[in-house]
Amino acid sequence: MTEPTNALSPGRRMNSPRAAAVAGVLFAVLFAAALVLMRTSLPDQASIPADWPDDAAATRLTLGLSLVPFSGIAFLWFMGVVRDRFKETEDQLFSSVFIGSGLLFLAMVFVSAAIAGGIVAIAQVVTDEESRAGVSNFGRAVMLQVSNIYALRMAGVLLISLGTMWLRTGVMPRWLSFVTYAVAIVLLFVTTLSLWVTLIFPAWVFAVSILILVQNFRRRTTANE
């Protein structure tokens, strides 16, 4: 009696779907949209007024917070796609830094979003305007510090490790490695709470994902010829 053969034998390597790079595009779009919605719902001035948030601000903030978990899921897939392209040439040292910094970045983004959600929740419970304003100001300051200072620096470390692996292995074009280094320097050393600096990272993910999709399409076209 013959034993049934498994289509995926122990010696066969699984390849990630070529279309999985779409996850990077989804992350870039969802994360950028969440950032814009969350930041535009916050007052421009450093001190939050006692009557914040109004209905419009609360709606934008809630919608932005609802996008954050899905953008995080897409980012995990993006990390997997990027790492899969190295195959056997993967450097364990830089790969460990890449994975660790990516997970720290994602964890800090979730923490920042949770603080923002706490601000909205407490605004509906605390009736004293002075107390509500104090809690909101503290939560806003912590949220911006976590997202723009610590999370972005972890994103910068991720880019440095990834750019170095690309440069050593030749998996991606050399010019992309140098662009990645430039973006990493901005994220590491530009200390600001501006929205536009934060958007540099999803813009980089979007560009890399599009490039991977183009490369996959060309390989598929070449294989079919």
Report how far residue 75's alpha carbon sits from residue 24's, in angstroms, rounded to the nearest whole number: 6
Entry pTM: 0.81
pLDDT of residue 135: 75
Long-range contacts of 157-163 (CB under 8 A, 24+ apart): 157/97, 157/101, 157/184, 157/188, 158/97, 158/98, 158/101, 158/102, 158/105, 159/183, 159/184, 159/187, 159/204, 160/184, 160/188, 161/94, 161/95, 161/97, 161/98, 161/101, 162/82, 162/94, 162/98
Give the tens place of pLDDT for each residue, 9-44.
444 444 555 567 788 899 999 999 998 888 887 766
pLDDT of residue 170: 84
pLDDT of residue 110: 94
**Collapsed DSSP state (helix, strand, coil) of residue 151:** helix
Report how far residue 23's alpha carbon sits from residue 209's, in angstroms, rounded to the nearest whole number: 8
Give the tens place of pLDDT for each residue, 86-127.
877 777 888 889 999 999 999 999 998 998 888 877 777 766
